[in-house]
């Protein structure tokens, strides 16, 4: 189902979720609402009405950010190969030090995250855009994702593990996101 709020297209999808979730998706500020299948349309519309100002504000913010960002050149095969080599190097360096084993690393062009880990399978995905970042940032993401094999959540234990393995991880994270 689709509707408009102050000219902004909002897509509503019914899913097997517990709560209503609201997303402003990059790069164009598309609005997505996921809602439990059993929830009435009236409740969803009331939710959207209560979030109207938030939707408009964040949609406009994303559009402003998009205008400020210059068009990025595509990542070359050479840059991708350098990224693959760095990931592989840090993977093999950190696995024995951390006492973990990732079954596979893949590289994807992801919009909102630098990496992800499926703890059940040990598969780790790394963002192709890391090719634009420094080796210390790439190392941070590798260690971060490997840490999820020890602790799936971003809780205190996870942060303690990160500090134990990579004491300057907070500075690297800041550098990565600037």
On the CB side of 140, CA atoms within 13 Å amount to: 20
The residues, ordered by sequence, that sit 6+ positions from 14 with a Cβ below 8 Å of its Cβ are: 34, 35, 36, 37, 39
Task: Count CB-CB contacts under 10 A for residue 171.
Answer: 12
CA distances from 34 to 37, 39, 73, 77, 170 (A): 9, 11, 33, 37, 32
Q: Which domain holds residue 33?
A: 2-68
Position 23 scores a pLDDT of 92
**Predicted local confidence at residue 152, as pLDDT:** 94
pLDDT attached to residue 140: 98
| Per-residue pLDDT, 70 | 64
What is the number of structural domains in the chain?
A: 2
**In this structure, what DSSP letter does residue 43 have?**
H
Q: pLDDT tens per residue, the chain (178 residues)?
A: 899 988 898 999 999 999 999 998 877 788 999 999 999 999 999 999 999 999 999 988 888 877 776 667 889 999 999 999 999 999 999 999 999 999 999 999 998 899 999 999 999 999 999 999 999 999 999 999 999 999 999 999 999 999 999 999 999 999 998 8
CATH of residue 147: 3.30.2010.10
DSSP 178: -
- Regarding pTM above 0.75, the answer is no
Same domain as 162, residue 139: yes
69 — phi, psi (to 5°)? -80, 120
Residues 28 and 89 both lie in one domain: no
């Amino acid at each position: 189902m689709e509707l408009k709020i102050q000219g902004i297209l909002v897509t509503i999808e019914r899913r097997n979720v517990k709560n209503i979730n609201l997303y402003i998706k990059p790069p164009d500020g598309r609005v997505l609402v996921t809602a439990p299948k059993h929830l009435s349309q009236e409740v969803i519309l009331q939710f959207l009405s209560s979030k109207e100002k938030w939707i408009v504000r964040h949609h406009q913010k994303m559009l402003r950010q998009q205008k400020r960002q210059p068009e990025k050149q595509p990542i070359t095969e050479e840059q991708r190969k350098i990224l693959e080599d760095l990931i592989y190097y840090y993977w093999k360096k950190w696995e024995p030090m951390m006492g973990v084993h990732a079954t596979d690393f893949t590289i994807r062009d992801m919009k909102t995250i630098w990496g992800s880990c499926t703890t059940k399978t040990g598969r780790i995905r790394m963002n192709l855009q890391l090719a634009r970042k420094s080796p210390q940032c790439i190392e941070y993401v590798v260690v971060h994702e490997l840490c999820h094999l020890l602790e799936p959540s971003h809780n205190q234990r996870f942060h303690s593990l990160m500090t134990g393995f990579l004491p300057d991880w907070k500075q690297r994270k800041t550098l990565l996101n600037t």
